[in-house]
């Protein structure tokens, strides 16, 4: 016998992996799939006695925190351990595909084995230049994951009117738009009554859509004004603003009417959004976090919402509470250099702060590593038209 044959003959026989162990590992890897298949409910981290007291709620949330910290510690240990790349025989080429295939995973049900976890965990410091993003812990199931590319040359304004309503303005570069379509007519030839577009100084503002957004097409692009639904078209306060505005060679001059305020302004930037499932007081919910690195409150808040001032993490913020959906809110603010918008329901701001504190700080590269390449901007750079729009607030 040669040595290789002797080694071959000494081959240990091993029994198949114990079924319990195999199932345990499988559940860790495919938590969501397993739950879907078995009908298991999402992880309970709180007392089922919902909203009995804030103390109970926070204590239960603490459990979530412990689990999350364990997950973060475990994750950190995976990252800082022996370099797999060094040992793996070239199984990971530098090229990254555009396929985003991170398995959907749920929050870790039980803490990782202590032998693989470091002894300390660093609370993330979000919004820095080095770490502009907050990322979900590894192995967390995400209900939503999107990246919305910036609009070329876009800019956002957030104004507050003298009646304390908030109004968003956004301009986007582009080509000169086609002429507006004629009013829609029924087959009978009867014209559907609409609010006629209004002419202002250098621009024509369309009627508002159902979300309360107005569109103005100008020489090389467009700008929109939105205040949310429920307002009369061209209401008096808004009309004051529009009448004060003028557009000349693409410059959108915005002299603020008396007692109006410029709350925020900033460029259009990439938007990174994920939905994080949480269980609070026995109730499953999703906290959706949209982040805008190097963005602004104006950009994060833009949309069909009315905001009022709020304080979050000791910093000024703005909150929109839904009239139609009690308990739901959108909170907008800044984390360092990153603007954020959190959408949640039936979550207190204290709880929300705690949830965010459990996230990992990271950057775009880390996002790409975990979730795949960013979408490629396929729209051509159409700013060849001169006199592209830009705001000038005074």
Q: Of 80, 102, 78, 85, whose CA–CA distance to 373 is shortest?
A: 102
3 state SS of 62: helix
Q: In the complex, what is the shortest distance from the CB of residue 344 to other proteins, in angstroms, rounded to a whole number?
A: 18
Q: In the complex, what is the shortest distance from the CB of residue 142 to other proteins, in angstroms, rounded to a whole number?
A: 7
- List the structure tokens of 27: 């559940």
Nearer to other proteins, 132 or 136 (CB): 136
Q: Which range touches other proteins (CB under 8 A), out of 76-84, 233-241, 347-355, 358-366?
A: 76-84
- List the structure tokens of 371: 């979730």
Rounded to 10°, the helix 31-38/19-29 angle is 110
CA angle 120, 338, 122 (to 5 degrees): 5
Report d(CA 105, CA 33) in Å as an integer: 8
What DSSP string describes 168-208?
EEEEEE-PPPPPPPPPPB-TTSPBPP-PPPEE-BS-EEPPP
Place of tokens 């026989």: 13
Whether 225 and 242 have beta carbons less than 8 Å apart is answered as yes
Size of the site for other proteins (CB under 8 A): 67
Considering the rule CB under 8 A, would residue 381 count as an interface residue with other proteins? Answer: no
Considering the rule CB under 8 A, would residue 38 count as an interface residue with other proteins? Answer: no
Nearer to other proteins, 81 or 183 (CB): 81
Strand partners of residue 297: none
Which residues, numbered 143-172, are part of the site for other proteins (CB under 8 A)? 144-149
Phi, psi (rounded to 5 degrees) for 17? -55, 135
Report d(CA 326, CA 17) in Å as an integer: 50
Q: Which range touches other proteins (CB under 8 A), out of 62-70, 102-110, 156-164, 245-253?
A: 102-110
Which residues, numbered 328-367, are part of the site for other proteins (CB under 8 A)? none
Report d(CA 278, CA 285) in Å as an integer: 5
Among 19, 113, 130, 186, binds other proteins (CB under 8 A): 113
Considering the rule CB under 8 A, would residue 129 count as an interface residue with other proteins? Answer: no
Considering the rule CB under 8 A, would residue 15 count as an interface residue with other proteins? Answer: yes
Q: In the complex, what is the shortest distance from the CB of residue 163 to other proteins, in angstroms, rounded to a whole number?
A: 25
Spell out the alpha helix ranges (H) of the chain. 3-9, 19-29, 31-38, 54-80, 84-87, 236-244, 297-301, 349-357, 364-371
CA angle 72, 44, 273 (to 5 degrees): 50
Q: Which range touches other proteins (CB under 8 A), out of 9-17, 49-57, 60-68, 121-129?
A: 9-17
Among 44, 163, 201, 377, binds other proteins (CB under 8 A): 377
CA angle 173, 176, 180 (to 5 degrees): 120
**How many Cβ atoms sit within 10 Å of the Cβ of residue 100?**
14
- List the structure tokens of 327: 């308990």
Considering the rule CB under 8 A, would residue 120 count as an interface residue with other proteins? Answer: no
Considering the rule CB under 8 A, would residue 12 count as an interface residue with other proteins? Answer: yes
Which residues, numbered 194-233, are part of the site for other proteins (CB under 8 A)? none
Nearer to other proteins, 61 or 135 (CB): 135
Nearer to other proteins, 6 or 55 (CB): 6
Which residues, numbered 283-312, are part of the site for other proteins (CB under 8 A)? 302-303
Considering the rule CB under 8 A, would residue 19 count as an interface residue with other proteins? Answer: no
Whether 77 and 119 have beta carbons less than 8 Å apart is answered as no
Considering the rule CB under 8 A, would residue 25 count as an interface residue with other proteins? Answer: yes
Q: In the complex, what is the shortest distance from the CB of residue 251 to other proteins, in angstroms, rounded to a whole number?
A: 24
Q: In the complex, what is the shortest distance from the CB of residue 305 to other proteins, in angstroms, rounded to a whole number?
A: 11
Q: Give me the residues that bind other proteins (CB under 8 A), please.
A: 1-17, 21-22, 25-26, 28-30, 32-33, 36, 78, 81-82, 84, 87-93, 95-97, 99-104, 113, 116, 142, 144-149, 302-303, 370-372, 374-379
């Amino acid at each position: 016998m040669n040595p290789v044959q002797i080694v071959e003959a000494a081959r240990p026989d091993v029994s198949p992996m114990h079924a319990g162990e195999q199932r345990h590992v499988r559940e860790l890897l495919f938590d969501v799939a397993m739950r879907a298949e078995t009908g298991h409910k999402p992880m309970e981290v709180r007392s089922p006695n919902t909203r009995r007291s804030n103390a109970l709620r926070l204590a239960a949330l603490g459990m979530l925190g412990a689990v999350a910290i364990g997950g973060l510690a475990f994750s950190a240990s995976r990252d800082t351990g022996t370099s797999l790349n060094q040992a793996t025989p070239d199984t990971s080429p530098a090229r990254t595909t555009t396929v985003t295939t991170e398995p959907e995973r749920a929050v870790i049900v039980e803490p990782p084995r202590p032998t693989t976890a470091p002894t300390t965990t660093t609370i993330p410091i979000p919004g820095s230049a080095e770490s502009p993003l907050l990322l979900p812990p590894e192995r967390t199931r995400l209900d939503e994951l999107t990246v919305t590319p910036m609009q070329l040359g876009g800019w956002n304004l957030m104004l507050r009117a003298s009646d304390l309503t908030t109004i968003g303005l956004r301009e986007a570069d582009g080509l000169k738009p086609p002429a507006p379509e004629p009013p829609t007519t029924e087959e009978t030839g009867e014209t559907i009554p609409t609010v006629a577009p209004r002419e202002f100084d250098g621009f024509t503002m369309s009627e508002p859509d159902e979300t309360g957004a107005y569109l103005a097409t100008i020489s090389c692009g467009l700008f929109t004004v939105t205040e949310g639904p429920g307002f009369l078209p061209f209401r008096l306060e808004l009309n004051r603003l529009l009448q004060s505005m003028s557009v000349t060679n693409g410059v959108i001059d915005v002299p603020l009417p008396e007692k109006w305020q410029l709350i925020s302004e900033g460029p259009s930037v990439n938007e990174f959004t994920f939905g994080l499932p949480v269980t609070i007081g026995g109730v499953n919910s999703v906290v959706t976090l949209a982040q805008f690195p190097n963005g602004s409150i104006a950009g994060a808040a833009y949309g069909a919402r009315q905001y009022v001032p709020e304080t979050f993490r000791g910093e000024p913020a703005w909150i929109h509470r839904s009239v139609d959906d009690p308990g739901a809110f959108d909170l907008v603010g800044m984390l360092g250099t990153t603007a954020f918008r959190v959408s949640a329901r039936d979550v207190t701001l204290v709880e929300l702060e705690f949830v965010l504190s459990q996230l990992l700080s990271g950057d775009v590269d880390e996002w790409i590593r975990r979730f795949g390449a960013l979408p490629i901007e396929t729209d051509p750079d159409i700013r060849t038209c001169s006199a592209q729009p830009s705001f000038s607030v005074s």
